[in-house]
Structure 1
Amino acid sequence: MITAQTAFADTTAWRVRWTNEPTRHRELGVPAGASVHNRHQARIWVVTTATLDGRPVAISGSADRTVRIWDLLSGEQVGDPLTGHADVVGALDVTTVEGRPVAVSGGWDETVRIWDLLSGEQIGDPLTGHLNGVTTVATTMIDGRPVAVTTGFDRTVRVWDLVERRQVAEMTGHADGLSSLAVAVVDDRPVAVTGSTDRTVRIWDLATGQQIGDPLTGNTGIVFPVTITAVDGRPVAITGSSDETVRTWDLIDRRQIGEPMTGHEGVLSTMATTTVDGRPVLIAGGQDDLLRMWDLATRELLGAPLAGHTGWVLSVATTTIDGRPVAISGSTDCTLRMWDLAQYVETPAPAARRPVRAVTTALVGGRHVVVTGNGDDGIQLWDTASGAPARAIDTGDDPVDVLATAELDGRAVAVTAGADHTIRTWDLALGTPVGAPLTGHTSPVSGIAVAATDGAPVVVTASHDKSVRVWNLTDGTQIGPPRARDRRWVRAAATTTVDGRPTAVIGNRNGTLSLRPLTTNRDIARVASGAGGKPILHVAAATAGGRSFAITSSEQDETVRRWDLADQDVTGSLAVGYVTAVAATTIDDRAVAVTAVLAEVQVWDLATREQIGPTMNFPETVTAVTIDPQGLIIACFAGNTAVLTPLPG
């Protein structure tokens, strides 16, 4: 059994012990349980990668006018945003200047800025010269000196000495604004390849400042992204266009190679190259919200599309982490996502996980486990300490919409119910049904809770059939008559002790809260919530210091109310609203509740109504949450589960 790492009274925060969030892709800046939710506040125009202090990082620029650094191992933002640009940061690259790692950014404010990545400070004054917004930046070496090459809406290509921080060259030739840039060394000379809204691709000798040969033509749309790599030992440029095609160009012969590659839907706006399983691979994305991979040797699409963004993919960069190729992408949806490319090549894209509808904990054979219910996907057990799957219980056609655990004849069991109106009991050690199903409800069961009376486990169920039933779990008999006086369904149920009696706490459709002793299943109180008759959707209860508390939330009502159950009255509210899940327990004789509001989770002292520790953030809406008597928080989001452990002050 797991014990708390610190006395709960000293808890000031929680940290993630484990999460089964898939590694195929994840959003940066939103690690599960983080107390700070770091995100760009506007579309992400550009991203690049680097290594800082031995750790892989991504660096991004956004329409929110900031440059941000992200630790790719933790997913967290590094330091504060780099600020100074007065408009969109749409161009970015990294290099080393006099032994220091720097980022070079370009903005629509017509400036180029150099940033010390270790200190987060801007180096010197902005570099000026462009007469319109800077669209792309790339860094390289010319005659042993680090330079930045930039393009702009002003139709120019400019070269900047990064040591002296001055412009050293300007090249013109495009008939319209420039939209893309890549640099490389070809035949021992540094070159730049540019694309433009004039639909041409041009190659420039950076040492002489002259265009090499005639423009490369063939695109029937704006040339947005360009990158350079080697295929079969020859340097090639790869371009994407608003004509939905990908084209490759031999940089020595200056000719298009083969036919355009097609398969994207909409404008291509970004691309990058890497190697996956020894194959040269292109990652390209754009207007269709997807990234696709191309095998550049065979010129065929590779693996499954990389789906996850909900907006136009504007930027992508590649790196390796622990020897595995990854891509980092930015989007108009304001998110940065990291993708394990090998997984998308090796296996098809997995089906989306069903949201976890219910979560609790249990002690099974001396092992502390998390128990989740996933609708038609049955019951899953996870080792609380490691996150390793402990058992999957196939419930067949029996849905698991609500779930609770109990001890029955010395065995840990789960009690489940759902849309089939039936309550079932499962042996968590064996994964098998226990006894006959409990029947009687005539509509879906939407609330469930367990307790004990006279040492015997009982189950309380609430249903859309307007009834509340109490069951003796040992023999399957009902205790007292089912309460069926409500005109509408009953959704929420919890159990606690009130005045020394085990009691069911029922949230009703008409906005009232009912108290029903488990020995009789008869109302001893029905109290209006003050929510104007709005249906109670969630209820949780706990007892501490001789006082019994409940919290409730109602439909279309942002107030989370606290109830003193002995006084049968609402005695305040929590500073949170519109919750998606609630839970409560007793820890060290302290009544503690946990609430989820979309993707945020808070912990509360029910006696004082004060929040404990900071708000915790998750990548997606939290659909189920619980807190166990050791102070562990278990939160479920987008089909994933995370366990968070308390930290001392």
Structure 2
Amino acid sequence: MSAESRDRRSIARAIMSVASTVQWENTSAYLKRHGAEHAYEGELLDELVLQEDFLLHANAENLLPMLWHVRGARSQLAATAYRTSATAHASAGDLRDRHEILRRDQIRVKMERPSVSEPDQLWNPRWVLGQGITSSLAGTLTGHTRRIEDIAFGLLDRRPVALTASWDQTGRIWDLATGDQLGPSLTGHTDQLTAVKFGHLRGIPIALTASLDGTARVWDLQTSRQIRVLSGHVGAVHSIAFGDIEGAPIAVTGGWDQTVRVWDLIADRESRVLRGHTGTVRGVAFGTVDRVPVALSAAWDGTLRVWNLLDGSQTNEFDGRNGLLNTVAFGKVDGTALAVTGGMNGPVLVWNLQEGTATDLLGEPVAPGAFTGLGGGNVVSVALGYLGDAPAVIIADDTNTATVWNLQARRRENVLTGHTNYVTAVALGNSGGQSIALTGSVDQSARIWDLTGDGRPRRETSGHSGPVESIALGLLRDRPVALTIAREPNALMWDLHSGTRIGPPLTGHAKDLTAVAFGRLHDGPAAVTTARDGTARVWDLNSWKQIGTLAGYTGTVNAVAFTRFGDRPVAAIVSGAGTASYWDLTVQAPARGGPSSARAFAPLSAARTDLCGVGRASDTGDSRPGAGDASDGSGSSDGNVGDDLRRLVTAVAFDRRGRNPIAVSAMNDGQVHTWSLRGETISGTFLDQTGPLSALALGTIGEEPVAIGAGSGGVALVWSLASRSRRGSPIRGHTDEVTAVALGAVDGKPIAVTGSRDETIRVWDLTYPEHALIRTILLPAPCRAVAVSAEGAIVAAAGDEVLMYDHTGR
């Protein structure tokens, strides 16, 4: 080691020694800003990143570029956790919020010993289950103020760069080595940007952008200046591609006017208009087939078309296989010209452009009119590239993740998780010899992913593979447990203390589950699940076996509650038609005539039958004071998310009068009713707010049975079931719809927990009528479900993750 290197290491060691003595909170502003740079120069960066609370207090602007240089496994996890919420750290917001976020994210990346101290607050994260954060996350690019709609890879002065296009009407250039924005933003469009691509014009690196303002524009990336405006489309321009015809650079655009247009970038003029589509052209790509330059266009008429750019003729038209196409990418594998398409309600298809055949991602042929769910859903972006030497495709399909497929091995290689909202744009490239992926999202960030190595997922995932919809808490052999369901046919059970899986999945439904409830049969703990297959199923949790099917419904079964009526276990089931029925689980027959009977929950049967419920209720199976139900009605059972006329939540609780169970139902019209299990109406409407309810839960305050409900206005209300009147003031504070509520007790005080689309949970003290806010918990995604255990732990669903917050008693 040279003398200079020794000096640098000595300086770095001195900095770390000072910080460990006085703690990073009390160090100078200079050390917080430049400590990482000195540690890097002294080859002690990995050690510094793991020093307690350094990441919490370091200056984000200087720290983020340094995190590219950490090498140790644990320090890379710490860097990944920091990058995940880089926007929050870079904003220099409330230190308490950043402390909570950083601790939570280190638990999300599975750091066994977080390098951030535990915050001094009432509830702290203990474990997180689910897809979490892929440890191959290498960087986060922040700066846009609205969603990123497209992303592209390029080279600028031999440096790998990313180009982003956003709804904030700007494009931006990013250095992939440092994560810094290069130069000023690309400004000039007068509406949202829809697409961006990289190219060259007379030796100058350029960006091409498309916009809803009806134009495409060309930018000099060395100066960030606009050098061309391509006007000609009628209405929005949705897609753009760069290519060349016999060495002459061109742009290809597609738009709302159902045309594909070709632009001569040297002459700065429109050279061809390609007509034939009968729907909006959403995606275009450039390539060569048999040495002929071609344009590919994917449109909402469900077709992929191939155009000869030498003469403007359409050379092929392919059926998109049941989908309105959103996106297309071009590439070559072993000399064969390929296209990959994706769209709404159809599969991702790989097209051999020379043979005119289509296969799915596994390589299986897909005939016209056929449907495969593989890679289906609403695919919004695809890109072709390489994983090492293997051709690959990356897919964004209206989830918080992107998926990488190896087209040579025909297998899924990686699921990139970490965005906190839908991924809208993807690209593949190479940086410093490493295969990388780029993603853009509604969360206003772009992310960089290191795909080197064998390409397999860097972290073994556990839990659900889709958004978690409902949570039920209970006891299994005196062990607190949680049952969770997602948009898949399985329910999973977890140890509430450790977060470890218990037993096998509850598998048997033919379609996605919609609700789960926990309770007891005569011989032990049991669960009831409902699903889109038109059934509810009963499970013995001692043997993990299905012991009964409650069938006879048409379409989706939306909600379930579990209780006891005398010595009989009873389930209340709500169908998508708005009807409800009781089932006596000792005989597996409808307790009041079955789902088709007018006597089975007759007031609900009389509701409008065209209104399908989407709320979900899950009972804790615990009648002790303070043990509350949790329900979540944030999604649509038939896919019509946000349709306020399709909401219904049902729950069951014990009335204090003689401990006879009553059912409480929240209707799509905003009404709340209570019913006895004998079928009589106890009360009519007692809700004093308008609009539909999206969440409902039951519990007690002292000996008084109460209900809490919430809806789209961001307000929750508490009602007394005894007096059928509102109890206390409205619960306000959320900035978006309240989608989940629960009731419980902590240290003898009744509490309400509300979860919202605003990505927070809020805890409220119900002791006094003012309903004081106790704690705000920050989530990584909008809340979909929440529950409170008998010990006061809070379990929440956010995206495809389940988070457990332990009550610390501070």
Structure 2 Cα separation of the partners of residues 419 and 284 of structure 1: 30
Match of 1:492 in 2: 649
- The answer to whether the 8 Å contact 1:28/1:336 transfers is no
Distance 1:294 1:390 in 2: 31
TM-score by length of 1: 0.55
Instruction: State the secondary structure of the residue aligned to 1:329.
Output: strand
Q: Tell me if 1:569 matches 2:728.
A: no
Asked whether the 8 Å contact 1:356–1:375 carries over to 2, the reply is yes
**Structure 2 vs 1, CA of residues 60 and 19 (structure 1 numbering), >3 Å: closer, same or farther?**
farther
Task: Note if 1:550 corresponds to 2:707.
Answer: yes
Aligned pair partner of 1:483 in 601, 609, 618: 601
Asked if 2 retains the 8 angstrom alpha-carbon contact of 1:358 and 1:624, the reply is: yes
CA drift of 1:437 comes to 4.3
Partner of 1:146: none
Alpha-carbon distance in 2 for matches of 1:317, 1:611:
49
Equivalent of residue 20 in structure 1, options 130, 140, 145: 130
Partner SS state of residue 485, structure 1: helix
Does residue 626 of structure 1 match 2:787? yes
Q: For each residue in 1:55-110, what CA deviation from the matched residue of structure 2 results, as whole angstroms up to 9, or x when unmatched?
A: xxx998977899xxxxxxxxxxxxxxxxxxxx967334377xxxxx8957322489
* 1:381 aligned onto 2:523: no
Match of 1:641 in 2: 801
In the TM superposition, what are the counterparts of 1:255-404 in structure 2 within 5 Å?
263=339, 276=388, 279=389, 311-313=424-426, 327-330=437-440, 334-337=444-447, 339=449, 341=451, 353=465, 355-365=467-477, 367-374=479-486, 377-384=489-496, 385-388=498-501, 390-397=503-510, 400-404=513-517
Q: Is the 8 A contact 1:29 1:38 kept in 2?
A: no
The structure in which a higher percent of residues are strand is 1
Shift of 1:307: 8.8
1:107 aligns with 2:184: yes
2:492 and 2:506 in contact (8 A); partners too:
yes
Residues 447, 492 of structure 1: 8 Å contact kept: yes
Classify 1:478/1:261 alpha carbon distance in 2 versus 1 (closer, same or farther; 3 Å). Answer: closer
d(CA) in 2 for partners of 1:516, 1:284: 52
Change (3 A) 1:530 1:325: same
2:475, 2:410 → 1: CA distance? 45
SS at match of 1:528: coil
- Deviations for 1:96-130, whole angstroms, at most 9, x for unmatched residues? xxxxx8957322489xxxxxxxxxxxxxxxxxxxx
Structure 2 CA distance, aligned partners of 1:611 and 1:59? 46
1:585 and 2:741 aligned: no
Alignment-mate amino acid for residue 526 of structure 2? V
TM-score of the superposed pair, with normalisation by structure 2: 0.46
Are 2:243 and 1:243 aligned? Answer: no
Structure 1 residue 504: Cα displacement: 2.5
> Any conservation in 2 of the 1:302–1:345 contact (CA below 8 Å)?
no
Task: Give the Cα–Cα distance (whole angstroms) in 1 for the partners of residues 382 and 535 of structure 2.
Answer: 52
Mapping of 1:124-163 within 5 angstroms?
none
Q: 1:387-427 deviations in whole A, cap 9, x for unaligned?
A: 44631122244874322111223522102334566543211
- Take 2:553 and 2:149, find their aligned partners in 1: how far apart are those partners? 52
Q: Distance in 2 between matches of 1:367 and 1:383?
A: 7
Please tell me whether the aligned partners of residues 475 and 525 of structure 2 are also in contact (alpha carbons under 8 angstroms).
yes
**Shift in alpha-carbon separation, 1:589–1:465, aligned structure 2, 3 A:** farther
- Tell me the residue number matched to 1:538: 695
Aligned residues: 473
Confirm or deny: 8 A CA contact 2:137 2:450 kept in the other structure.
Answer: no
- Aligned residue for 2:801, secondary structure, equals strand
Q: Which amino acid aligns with 1:565?
A: L
Structure 1, unaligned runs of 5 or more: 1-9, 31-36, 49-57, 67-86, 96-100, 111-132, 137-152, 159-175, 178-195, 201-215, 223-240, 247-257
Selected match of 1:461 from 573, 585, 603: 573
Matched letter for residue 544 of structure 1: I
Once the two structures are TM-superposed, the CA of residue 445 in structure 1 deviates from its matched residue by 4.2
Q: Which of 764, 778, 794 lines up with 1:616 in the alignment?
A: 778
Separation in 1, partners of 2:394, 2:553: 54
| Counterparts of residues 20-39 of structure 1 (less than 5 Å) | 20-21=130-131
**2:139–2:179 Cα contact (<8 Å) kept:** no
Alpha-carbon offset, residue 20 of structure 1:
1.4
In 1, the alpha carbon distance for the partners of 2:671 and 2:488 equals: 31
How far apart are the structure 1 equivalents of 2:533 and 2:147?
A: 45
| Paired AA for residue 358 in structure 1 | S
- The separation in 2 between residues aligned to 1:494 and 1:544, in whole angstroms, is 17
Change (3 A) 1:454 1:60: farther
Q: Deviations over 1:292-348 (max 9, x none)?
A: 9899xxx9798669898754547867589xxx975343468834245563699569x
1:596/1:63 CA distance change after superposition, 3 Å:
same
- The separation in 1 between residues aligned to 2:706 and 2:507, in whole angstroms, is 36
Is 1:604 the counterpart of 2:604 in the alignment? no
The change in CA–CA distance for 1:537 and 1:41 in structure 2 (over 3 A counts) is: closer
CA contact (8 A) 1:542 1:592 kept: no
- Alpha-carbon distance in 1 for matches of 2:137, 2:726: 40
Report the AA paired with residue 742 of structure 2: A
Whichever residue aligns with residue 513 of structure 1, its letter is V
| 2:754 counterpart (595, 600, 603) | 595
Structure scoring higher RCO (CA < 8 A, sep ≥ 6) equals 1
Q: Is the 8 A contact 1:458 1:473 kept in 2?
A: yes
Distance 1:294 1:376 in 2: 21
Indicate if the aligned counterparts of 2:405 and 2:412 stay in contact, CA closer than 8 A. no
**1:506: Cα distance to partner?**
1.8
Which has the greater radius of gyration?
A: 1
**Structure 2: which 5+ runs fail to align?**
1-119, 154-159, 188-203, 208-217, 229-240, 253-283, 290-333, 343-380, 417-421, 593-598, 614-647
Question: How large is the RMSD of aligned CA atoms in angstroms?
Answer: 5.9
Taking the aligned partners of 1:553 and 1:284, their CA distance within structure 2 comes to 39
Alignment pair present for 1:414 and 2:527: yes
CA–CA distance in structure 1, aligned partners of residues 179 and 529 of structure 2: 57
CA distance in 1, matches of 2:243, 2:430: 25
> Are 2:447 and 1:447 equivalent residues in the alignment?
no
- CA 1:157/1:541 → structure 2, altered by over 3 Å: closer, same or farther? closer
Match of 2:234 in 1: none
Instruction: Answer whether contact 1:507 1:537 (CA < 8 A) is retained.
Output: no
Match of 2:688, as an amino acid? G
- CA shift, 1:569, in A, is 0.9
Cα distance in 1, alignment partners of residues 147 and 536 from structure 2 = 48
Mapped pair 1:41 → 2:146:
yes
Q: Report how far residue 568 of structure 1 moved.
A: 1.0
Would the alpha carbon gap of residues 559 and 199 (structure 1) be closer, same or farther in structure 2, given more than 3 Å must change?
same
